Structure 1
């Protein structure tokens, strides 16, 4: 089963559109052992309420080799739990370097089922990532309109819309309900969601920024298709650090956000 099919199937079975982001911040822990244990505990505790999990690569890279070891352990644990894994790396480069990134993060034991990718070096840079995703039944999420306030410096004046048209073109090359090429559209841009949903009808939309960045479940309805498929709303700090390092609070936050999304969609 492809990533797109697997995450959509899990959305329907569990009635969850929540993507749980995991950002293990070294400064929040007394040592690596505590960081590792807490991150894996949050993964397990929130899994029943999540459609997928999204480790942010930067926080694992910052830990050096122990971080890469933890990432492999986390990916294996997520798959045991039936959770598709989106690696949030925002990779993007040219030629053989892009191909190496694609090989590194979309194949192998430490790889994700999907990867966020940056198209702003040109649309040709997407090809190695899309090819690797298709070859391995994975997925890519192309940055279209990110959640940070200063995204308009480069993504305004129709640029995001141009990227969305390219995503739709790539999706048209594939069959199935949803294609392997999805898009990142920030939950912090609710007024734009209907536009991007219309521009990319067969793309899974990843909506980061739910919770700590100000995104609200009630505002995200236009990103979804009838029945509540087609989009994944991502929350990281609002779940992992809902109340310090209290795992029960993380579980409760994931359940609450899942329920808020379902209520907004009338499900």
Structure 2
């Protein structure tokens, strides 16, 4: 997490989401490969280009898109994780696991070691705080990191996260207190570190909570979804990127940039087929534009 914090300060706060669905790729390219192999080709070329441009600090790989493609998709998931690691940037695996006891331990082992090993993963605390322990143990022993769901970016977050408690405060506030406790515990274990390996997922789709959450959890690094295609404004990121900082994820806004790119549109109007170079270039331009927007508002 500390390396990610330093990379965000150096490269800018953009996180490129590799939530790569075959439908995000021109049909002629999908037909040239298999859907899964087309996704892998796009991912590898985009990772290389983003790294060269230094337009992002990390990549977030959403496992669901790869699970949907079956065994071949999971192989592509593992190869994508490796490509990110080889790039030198941080890899966040968006798995949102949250289970108890031995099951949670198995999930932690699966995603912090072996074929699916990642630097940082997302986890869901809403089944209870005992679900966090197997994952945080890897943070302490193996230098891994976790982003714990605090305030998500979906409209349905009001169903549970925003519910008021009889004892005062909201459900998400109880999660925040636990994150602070875990972060303080990690600081005692690793006093030389300036950033806790325990981060929080905080969506940027509503302005109401942004200032409150950033001021309340000043020392916790944020993963900020909702920017771009989900409608989260860059201006809301201003508050969330203060203090310990954060990384702002954009997935479809970058992966599908070719659909709105003037060069790609003109090429299609001229009856020409798009290449991987075309769509990667469009994605890279969108990433630079996002980086500039996020950097200029800080």
- 1:27 to partner: Cα distance: 3.4
Separation of aligned partners in 2, 1:167 and 1:63: 34
Task: Give the secondary-structure state (helix, strand or coil) at the position aligned to 2:230.
Answer: coil
Determine if the alignment matches structure 1 residue 159 to structure 2 residue 174. Answer: no
Determine if the alignment matches structure 1 residue 260 to structure 2 residue 293. Answer: yes
Separation of aligned partners in 1, 2:234 and 2:78: 31
* 1:165–1:199 Cα contact (<8 Å) kept: no
Determine if the alignment matches structure 1 residue 133 to structure 2 residue 139. Answer: yes
5+ unaligned residues in a row in structure 1: which ranges? none
Q: TM-score, normalised by structure 2?
A: 0.83
Separation of aligned partners in 1, 2:5 and 2:126: 28
Q: TM-score, normalised by structure 1?
A: 0.92
Aligned residues: 259
5+ unaligned residues in a row in structure 2: which ranges? 25-29, 165-169, 188-192, 260-275
Q: Which residue of 1 aligns with 2:16?
A: 20
Task: Give the secondary-structure state (helix, strand or coil) at the position aligned to 1:221.
Answer: helix
Pairing 1:1-267 to 2, within 5 Å after superposition = 4-14=1-11, 16-28=12-24, 29-30=30-31, 31-32=34-35, 33-47=37-51, 48-156=54-162, 157=164, 158-175=170-187, 176-225=193-242, 230-244=245-259, 246-265=279-298
Show CA shifts across 1:228-266 (max 9, x none).
x5211100000111124711110011101111011000x
* 1:18–1:258 Cα contact (<8 Å) kept: yes
Larger Rg: 2
* 1:218–1:260 Cα contact (<8 Å) kept: no
- 1:199 to partner: Cα distance: 2.4
- 1:97 to partner: Cα distance: 0.2
Task: Give the secondary-structure state (helix, strand or coil) at the position aligned to 1:101.
Answer: helix
Q: Which stretches of structure 1, 4 residues or more, deviate above 4 A after TM superposition?
A: none
